[in-house]
């Protein structure tokens, strides 16, 4: 709309409906692009240019059919980012998995200010926002040792128990699982290049009682467990049930059947 596209019937309602499609087509024609109705990198760049936006262009690559948008080094640090802490690679040894607890959607720009290094949309796009050597306070204590990954969607924390009513619950999609496979390959390569072991996959749950449902049973079963099996990584030194930090909780059996930790919400 800032680029002069009118959406008279519905306005900005967050849906890519017929009116938005018409708007995209007319913008593409005006900008001399292929009018295919798809907001790919060229259309996105033209939109940013049209609104005089300093928003950077991503380098978009497709790896194994997955779109990888890479903005590293081009964005302002997020609110809880601490670039002044210097290169954090010497401390990093894995990742912390999160879910957004809302639906940020498919537009990469929605993720630019989120306090995490990288994101996986429900549609299976990978968005790399911040340099991987940056300290970002995303996951309580584990932020010191792990890069932050936000998996979009409002999850069920435990089967039948919904964390944040008001939207969802959003299943972890097959596209997210596929994208996470690609993401793990990228991570393993970068850990290797930096001479660091990838021996930890943490759940945000382990760091705070306020995050007991984060990232939820589906993300753990479909993403963390296969990652741990592939890499030998663990959520801490206590085995697959993991360690706790601060007020956090271990990994429960409903998340990982090999964990001995049980009970409702399985603390």
In the complex, which residues of this chain contact Zn ion (CB under 5 A)?
A: 98, 204, 214
Check: CB of residue 112 under 8 Å from CB of residue 127. Answer: no
The single residue listed with the structure tokens 């970002």 is 136
Closest approach of Zn ion to the CB of residue 88, in Å: 18
Q: In Å, what is the CA distance from 83 to each residue of 31, 88, 135, 158, 166? A: 37, 9, 6, 35, 35
> What is the 8-class DSSP label of residue 218?
H
What contacts 207, CB < 8 A, 6 or more positions away? 96, 139, 140, 141, 142, 244, 245, 246, 248
Closer to Zn ion by CB, 88 or 205: give it: 205
Closer to Zn ion by CB, 214 or 266: give it: 214
Closest approach of Zn ion to the CB of residue 201, in Å: 14
Closest approach of Zn ion to the CB of residue 87, in Å: 24
Closer to Zn ion by CB, 135 or 204: give it: 204
Which of 72, 63, 118 has the alpha carbon at shortest distance from 95? 118
Closer to Zn ion by CB, 58 or 208: give it: 208
Closest approach of Zn ion to the CB of residue 50, in Å: 35
Distance of CA 63 to the CA centre of its chain: 17
Closer to Zn ion by CB, 46 or 136: give it: 136
Q: Which two tokens stand for residue 101?
A: 């607890």
Which of 161, 158, 140 has the alpha carbon at shortest distance from 210? 140
CA-atom Rg of the chain in angstroms = 19
Closer to Zn ion by CB, 98 or 125: give it: 98
C-alpha span between 109 and 20 (Å, rounded)? 17
Closest approach of Zn ion to the CB of residue 155, in Å: 10
Closer to Zn ion by CB, 46 or 223: give it: 223
Closest approach of Zn ion to the CB of residue 247, in Å: 14
Closest approach of Zn ion to the CB of residue 198, in Å: 20
Partners of residue 76 on adjacent β-strands: none
Residue nearest Zn ion by beta-carbon distance: 98
C-alpha span between 157 and 214 (Å, rounded)? 7
């Amino acid at each position: 709309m800032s680029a002069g596209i009118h959406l008279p019937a519905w306005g900005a309602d967050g849906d890519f409906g017929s009116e938005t499609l018409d708007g995209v087509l007319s913008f593409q024609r005006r900008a001399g692009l292929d009018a295919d109705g798809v907001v790919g990198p060229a259309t996105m760049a033209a939109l940013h240019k049209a609104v005089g936006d300093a928003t950077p262009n991503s380098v978009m690559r497709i790896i194994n059919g997955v779109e990888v948008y890479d903005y590293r080094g081009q964005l302002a640090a997020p609110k809880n980012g601490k670039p002044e802490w210097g290169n954090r690679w010497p401390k990093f040894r894995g990742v912390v998995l999160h879910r957004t607890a809302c639906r940020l959607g498919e537009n990469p720009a929605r993720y630019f200010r989120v306090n995490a290094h990288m994101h996986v949309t429900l549609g299976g796009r990978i968005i790399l926002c911040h340099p991987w050597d940056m300290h970002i306070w995303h996951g309580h204590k584990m932020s010191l040792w792990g890069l932050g990954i936000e998996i979009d969607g409002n999850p069920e924390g435990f089967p039948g128990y919904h964390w944040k009513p008001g939207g969802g619950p959003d299943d972890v999609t097959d596209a997210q699982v596929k994208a996470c496979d690609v993401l793990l390959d990228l991570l393993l390569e970068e850990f290797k290049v930096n001479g660091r072991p990838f021996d930890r996959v943490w759940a945000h749950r382990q760091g705070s009682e306020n995050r007991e449902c984060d990232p939820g049973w589906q993300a753990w079963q479909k993403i963390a467990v296969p990652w741990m099996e592939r890499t030998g990584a663990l959520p801490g030194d206590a085995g697959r049930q993991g360690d706790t930090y601060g007020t956090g909780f271990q990994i429960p059996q409903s998340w990982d059947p090999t964990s001995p930790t049980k009970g409702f919400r399985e603390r």
